[in-house]
C-alpha cells in the first residue's frame, strides 16, 4: 500500500471518529455563540450559511485579515488548506494551485469574485487587499453555480459595506526594503437608504533582489488603487449596489537566477535587458436585487478593462539573445441573472440562473532577436547542418537584431444556464444541480519577420527575405457540469456530507509559441528561397497554428466532509477528504532545446487524493486558528513524446500546507493603552516538485511571523514580522533555452503599522 493510500485511510478514520463523537451530542447541547465577528451580506446564489451546506470552505474575518497582515492573495498561501499562491515573477504571474490543480499561464483553476463581480482575466487577480470585510474560499469544483475556471474552487472577497459605520479609516505601513503602504477610506450614510464609500491605497517598495549586472534592485514596485461604492436601498425590497475599482501598477520583477548545472547552486541574478510589468485595470459592476416574499431575483452586470504590458529579457543572462514585449488590451462584459427562494424552506430550496460574457483581447507579443541570439539560436543551428557537407561555407545574417512581430485578436464569448435544488427530508438534505456551459474562442494572428541573408556558397551579396504567418483558428466547448450531494444534519450546527462534482477549465491558444513557429518558417523560407532543403532546420515540432491550441481540463471530485461545533469546549472543526480524477490536465512547458516560447499542453490523466482540516478555538482572551492540507497528485497517463511520466508527482503543487496562529489579548484599560494584542503564526509548505520527471524538488520549509499591537480608543500601532526565521527557499523553478533558473523567496521582513479611525 503506497503512502497516499495510507494517509487517506488514516484521515478517513479520523473523520469517522469526529463524527461518532459529535453524534452523541443532543439538541440540548447546542448553544449559539460567535467566535469571530460575523457580518451578514446578501449573496445572489446563497440560500443559507456555508457551514450548513455540503461544501468545504474557509472564512477569514476582518480582524484576522488585519491582525495577520493579509494584504495580497499571496498572503493567503497555507492560511487556507491546500491553497498555494507563490510570490514570484510579478503581478501578472498570479498563479494559484489547490488540491494538485493549477497552471502558471492562461486559464486559472480558481475563480475570483469581488463584491459579487466575477473577474475574467487572471492578470487582475493579484492586487492589494484593503478594507475587506471577509474572505471566503470555497474548495473543490464550483462549476455548477460558478462555471468556467472554478474546478479548484472559487474565492469570494467582500469589501466593507458603505453602511459599515460613518467613519474614516487611515493606515500607514513601513517595512523592510523601504516598503511603504498607505490607505485611506471614507464611509458615509447621508440617509437610511443611501450609503457610499471611497477607499484608496498606495504602495511602494525598493525591492528585495539585486540585479548584479546593473547593481540595482530588479523588483522595485509602485502601485495604487481606488475603489468607490454606492449602495442604494431604493425600496424596502429593491437595492442597487454599484462598485468601481481602478488599479495601477508599475513594477520590476522576474528575479530569476541561473542554477549551476552540476551543483544546482544558485548564481547571481544578472541580466542586461530590462524586465518590468505595467498594468492599468478598471472594473465597474452593478448588482441589482429584488427581495420579494417568496423569492430573490438578482442581476449582476460588469464591464472590465485591462491594459497591461510585460517586458522580459527572456534569456535572463548578461548576454543579448532575445527580448519579449507582450502587451494586451482587453474589454469584457458579463451579465448574470439569478432567482432563488428567499429563505431556507422546510422541504425544497431552489435556484436558477443564466450567464453570459464577451471579451475581446488585442495582444501584441513581438520577440526581438539580438546579436547573440542570431548567432547562437539561428546561425549556429543552421551552419552546423550546412558545414557537415560544405565545411568552408556559412549562412550569414546582415542585421545585428531583427523583430519577429506577433499580433493577435482573441474574441471569446460564452453562455450558460444552471439550476440547483435542495430537498430536505427529516435530518437529510439531498442536493442536485446541473449547468450547461457553451464557449466560443477565436484567434486571429498576424506574424511577420524580415531580414537580409547571405549563403556564401551561392551568393555574393545579402538578399532580403520576408516571412509571413497569418490566419485564424477557432475552438468551441460545450460542457455539462453536474453536482450531487447528500448531507446528514446531526443537529442545527453539525453535519456530515458526501458530494460528487464536476469542474472544468476552458481551453485556448498558445500565443507565446508563435515566435518559435515564425523562426522555424523563416529558416524554411530561406532554404526554399535558395532552392535547397536540409534536415534540422526546424527549431520546434509545433509547426502549425492549429497545433498551438490546447483542450479544456476536466475533473471529477469525490468528497466526504463535516462541519462540527464542539460548543462545550469552544471549538469549531471542519474536515474533508477528497479524491479527484483529472483528465487533460493543463501544464505549462518550455519546448525542448534552445527555443524562445512557452506553451500550455494537456497532460493526459492524473489523480489527486488528500484531506483538509481547519479548526478555531477560543477561550476568554485566547484565540487559536489552525489549518492543514495534504495532497498527493500523480500522473496516471502522461507521455510527453519523449518520456513516460506515469506515477510521477504533478509539478508545482505542494504536498502539504500548514498554518497555526495564536493570539492573546490583554485588556489593560489605562490612560495610554486599552489593549495589548500578541499574535504569532507559523506556516509550512512542501514538498514541491518542479518538473514532470521529479528530478528537482523544494523540500518542506516553514516560516515564522509575529505581531505586537497596542490599541487606545480608535488608534492602533502595530509591530510585525514575516519570515522571522529568514528561511531560504525556492519559490519558482523553470528551464528555458536549455538553462535552469529559479527564484528565491523573500527574506525576513519587519515593519510597523499605524491605524486610526475617526
Our separate counts of H helices and E strands in the chain read 6, 42
Confidence at residue 510, expressed as pLDDT on a 0 to 100 scale: 83
Half-sphere exposure at residue 646, Cβ-oriented, CA atoms within 13 angstroms: 4
Inform me whether the pLDDT recorded for 352 exceeds 50.
yes
261-275, 473-487, 714-728: segment of lowest average pLDDT: 261-275
pTM of the predicted model as reported, rounded to 2 decimal places? 0.89
Inform me whether the pLDDT recorded for 3 exceeds 70.
no
Per-residue pLDDT band for 90 (boundaries 50, 70, 90) equals confident
Torsion of CA 86, 88, 93, 98, to 10 degrees: -10
Summarize pLDDT for 518-561 with one digit per residue, the tens: 877 888 888 787 776 654 444 444 556 666 788 899 999 999 99
User: How far from the centroid of its chain's Cα atoms is residue 524's Cα?
Assistant: 39
Q: How far apart are CA 651 and CA 646, in angstroms?
A: 13
Phi and psi based region of residue 737 (left: phi greater than 0; alpha: psi -120 to 50; beta: remaining): left
214-218, 426-430, 463-467, 590-594: segment of lowest average pLDDT: 590-594
Confidence at residue 345, expressed as pLDDT on a 0 to 100 scale: 76
Domain with 609 in it: what CATH number? 2.40.170.20
Summarize pLDDT for 645-675 with one digit per residue, the tens: 899 999 999 999 999 999 999 999 888 899 9
70-74, 139-143, 298-302: segment of lowest average pLDDT: 70-74
Summarize pLDDT for 417-456 with one digit per residue, the tens: 999 999 999 999 999 999 999 999 999 999 999 999 998 8
Inform me whether the pLDDT recorded for 300 exceeds 60.
yes
Phi and psi based region of residue 22 (left: phi greater than 0; alpha: psi -120 to 50; beta: remaining): alpha
Inform me whether the pLDDT recorded for 116 exceeds 90.
yes
Residue 30 grid coordinates: 447546542
Alpha helices by DSSP H, listed for 127-257, are 143-146
Averaged pLDDT for residues 492-515:
89
Q: CA 630, 634, 636, 640 torsion: positive or negative? A: positive
First to last CA, the chain: 61
Inform me whether the pLDDT recorded for 47 exceeds 90.
no
Confidence at residue 26, expressed as pLDDT on a 0 to 100 scale: 39
Judge residue 620's burial from the number of C-beta atoms within 10 Å of its C-beta, 0-12 exposed, 13-18 middle, 19 or more buried.
Answer: exposed
**Parallel/antiparallel/unpaired status of strands 110-114 and 153-159:** parallel
Inform me whether the pLDDT recorded for 752 exceeds 60.
yes
Select from 77, 170, 167, 164 the least CA-distant residue to 126: 77
Confidence at residue 626, expressed as pLDDT on a 0 to 100 scale: 95
Averaged pLDDT for residues 595-615:
83
Confidence at residue 548, expressed as pLDDT on a 0 to 100 scale: 77
User: How far from the centroid of its chain's Cα atoms is residue 717's Cα?
Assistant: 32
Averaged pLDDT for residues 621-644:
91
> What order of strands is seen across the sheet that includes strand 730-736?
257-258, 739-744, 730-736
Alpha helices by DSSP H, listed for 165-263, are none
Summarize pLDDT for 127-175 with one digit per residue, the tens: 989 899 999 999 999 999 999 999 999 999 999 999 877 789 999 999 9
22-26, 36-40, 608-612: segment of lowest average pLDDT: 36-40
Phi and psi based region of residue 468 (left: phi greater than 0; alpha: psi -120 to 50; beta: remaining): beta
Number of domains in the chain: 1
Inform me whether the pLDDT recorded for 359 exceeds 60.
yes
Provide the percentage of residues in the chain whose pLDDT is more than 90.
65
User: What's the farthest any 2 CA atoms get from each other in the chain?
Assistant: 98
Q: How far apart are CA 488 and CA 498, in angstroms?
A: 9
Confidence at residue 593, expressed as pLDDT on a 0 to 100 scale: 52
Q: CA 570, 565, 624, 127 torsion: positive or negative? A: negative
Write out the residue range of the structural domain in which residue 250 sits: 3-757
Residue 601 grid coordinates: 499542453
Torsion of CA 510, 512, 515, 518, to 10 degrees: 10
Inform me whether the pLDDT recorded for 413 exceeds 70.
yes
Q: How far apart are CA 683 and CA 65, in angstroms?
A: 16
Q: SS3 for 726?
A: coil
Confidence at residue 6, expressed as pLDDT on a 0 to 100 scale: 55
Averaged pLDDT for residues 29-47:
50
Amino acid at each position: 500500500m503506497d503512502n497516499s493510500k495510507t494517509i487517506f485511510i488514516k484521515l478517513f478514520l479520523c473523520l469517522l471518529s469526529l463524527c461518532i463523537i459529535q453524534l452523541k451530542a443532543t439538541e440540548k447541547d447546542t448553544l449559539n455563540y460567535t467566535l469571530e465577528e460575523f457580518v451578514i451580506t446578501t449573496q445572489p446564489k446563497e440560500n443559507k450559511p456555508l457551514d450548513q451546506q455540503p461544501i468545504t470552505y474557509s472564512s477569514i474575518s476582518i480582524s484576522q485579515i488585519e491582525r495577520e497582515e493579509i494584504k495580497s492573495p499571496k498572503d493567503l498561501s497555507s492560511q487556507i488548506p491546500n491553497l498555494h499562491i507563490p510570490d514570484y515573477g510579478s503581478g501578472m504571474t498570479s498563479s494559484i494551485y489547490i488540491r494538485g490543480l493549477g497552471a502558471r499561464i492562461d486559464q486559472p483553476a480558481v475563480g475570483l469574485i469581488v463584491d459579487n463581480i466575477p473577474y475574467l482575466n487572471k492578470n487582475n487577480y493579484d492586487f492589494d487587499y484593503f478594507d475587506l470585510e471577509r474572505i471566503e474560499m470555497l474548495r473543490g469544483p464550483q462549476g455548477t453555480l460558478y462555471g468556467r475556471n472554478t474546478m479548484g474552487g472559487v474565492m469570494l472577497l467582500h469589501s466593507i459595506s458603505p453602511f459599515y459605520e460613518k467613519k474614516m479609516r487611515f493606515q500607514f505601513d513601513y517595512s523592510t526594503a523601504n516598503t511603504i503602504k498607505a490607505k485611506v477610506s471614507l464611509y458615509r450614510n447621508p440617509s437610511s437608504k443611501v450609503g457610499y464609500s471611497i477607499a484608496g491605497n498606495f504602495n511602494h517598495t525598493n525591492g528585495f533582489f539585486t540585479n548584479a549586472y546593473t547593481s540595482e534592485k530588479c523588483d522595485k514596485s509602485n502601485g495604487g488603487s481606488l475603489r468607490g461604492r454606492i449602495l442604494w436601498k431604493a425600496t424596502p425590497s429593491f437595492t442597487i449596489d454599484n462598485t468601481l475599482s481602478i488599479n495601477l501598477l508599475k513594477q520590476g520583477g522576474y528575479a530569476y537566477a541561473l542554477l549551476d548545472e552540476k551543483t544546482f547552486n544558485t548564481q547571481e541574478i544578472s541580466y542586461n535587458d530590462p524586465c518590468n510589468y505595467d498594468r492599468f485595470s478598471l472594473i465597474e459592476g452593478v448588482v441589482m436585487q429584488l427581495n420579494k416574499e417568496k423569492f430573490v431575483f438578482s442581476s449582476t452586470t460588469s464591464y472590465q478593462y485591462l491594459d497591461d504590458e510585460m517586458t522580459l529579457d527572456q534569456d535572463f543572462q548578461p548576454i543579448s539573445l532575445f527580448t519579449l514585449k507582450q502587451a494586451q488590451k482587453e474589454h469584457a462584459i458579463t451579465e448574470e441573472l439569478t432567482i432563488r427562494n428567499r429563505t431556507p424552506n422546510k422541504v425544497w430550496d431552489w435556484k436558477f440562473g443564466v450567464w453570459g460574457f464577451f471579451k475581446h483581447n488585442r495582444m501584441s507579443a513581438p520577440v526581438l532577436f539580438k546579436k547573440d541570439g542570431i548567432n547562437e539560436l539561428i546561425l549556429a543551428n543552421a551552419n552546423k547542418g550546412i558545414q557537415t557537407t560544405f565545411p568552408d561555407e556559412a549562412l550569414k545574417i546582415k542585421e545585428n537584431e531583427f523583430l519577429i512581430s506577433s499580433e493577435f485578436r482573441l474574441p471569446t464569448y460564452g453562455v450558460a444556464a444552471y439550476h440547483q435544488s435542495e430537498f430536505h427530508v427529516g435530518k437529510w438534505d439531498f442536493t442536485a444541480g446541473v449547468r450547461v456551459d457553451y464557449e466560443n474562442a477565436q484567434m486571429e494572428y498576424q506574424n511577420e519577420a524580415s531580414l537580409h541573408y547571405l549563403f556564401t556558397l551561392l551568393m555574393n551579396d545579402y538578399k532580403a527575405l520576408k516571412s509571413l504567418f497569418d490566419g485564424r483558428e477557432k475552438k468551441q466547448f460545450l460542457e455539462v457540469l453536474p453536482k450531487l450531494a447528500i448531507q446528514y444534519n446531526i443537529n442545527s450546527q453539525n453535519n456530515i456530507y458526501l458530494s460528487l462534482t464536476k469542474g472544468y477549465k476552458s481551453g485556448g491558444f498558445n500565443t507565446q509559441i508563435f515566435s518559435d513557429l515564425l523562426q522555424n518558417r523563416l529558416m524554411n523560407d530561406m532554404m526554399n528561397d535558395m532552392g535547397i532543403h536540409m534536415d534540422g532546420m526546424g527549431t520546434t515540432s509545433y509547426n502549425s497554428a492549429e497545433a498551438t491550441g490546447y483542450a479544456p481540463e476536466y475533473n471529477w471530485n469525490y468528497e466526504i466532509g463535516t462541519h462540527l461545533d464542539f460548543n462545550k469546549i469552544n471549538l469549531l472543526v471542519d474536515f474533508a477528504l477528497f479524491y479527484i480524477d483529472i483528465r487533460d490536465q493543463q501544464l505549462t512547458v518550455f519546448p525542448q532545446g534552445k527555443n524562445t516560447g512557452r506553451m500550455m499542453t494537456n497532460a493526459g490523466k492524473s489523480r489527486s487524493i488528500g484531506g483538509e482540516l481547519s479548526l478555531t478555538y477560543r477561550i476568554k482572551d485566547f484565540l487559536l486558528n489552525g489549518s492543514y492540507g495534504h495532497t498527493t497528485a500523480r500522473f496516471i497517463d502522461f507521455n510527453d513524446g519523449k518520456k513516460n511520466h506515469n506515477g510521477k508527482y504533478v509539478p508545482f503543487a505542494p504536498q502539504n500546507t500548514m498554518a497555526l496562529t495564536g493570539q492573546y489579548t490583554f485588556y489593560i484599560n489605562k490612560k495610554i493603552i486599552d489593549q495589548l494584542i500578541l499574535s504569532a503564526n507559523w506556516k509550512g509548505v512542501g514538498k514541491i516538485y518542479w518538473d514532470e520527471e521529479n528530478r528537482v524538488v523544494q523540500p518542506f520549509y516553514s516560516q515564522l511571523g509575529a505581531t505586537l499591537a497596542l490599541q487606545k480608543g480608535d488608534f492602533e500601532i502595530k509591530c510585525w514580522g514575516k519570515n522571522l526565521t529568514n528561511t531560504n527557499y525556492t519559490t519558482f523553478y523553470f528551464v528555458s533555452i536549455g538553462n535552469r533558473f529559479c527564484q528565491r523567496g523573500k527574506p525576513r521582513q519587519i515593519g510597523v503599522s499605524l491605524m486610526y479611525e475617526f
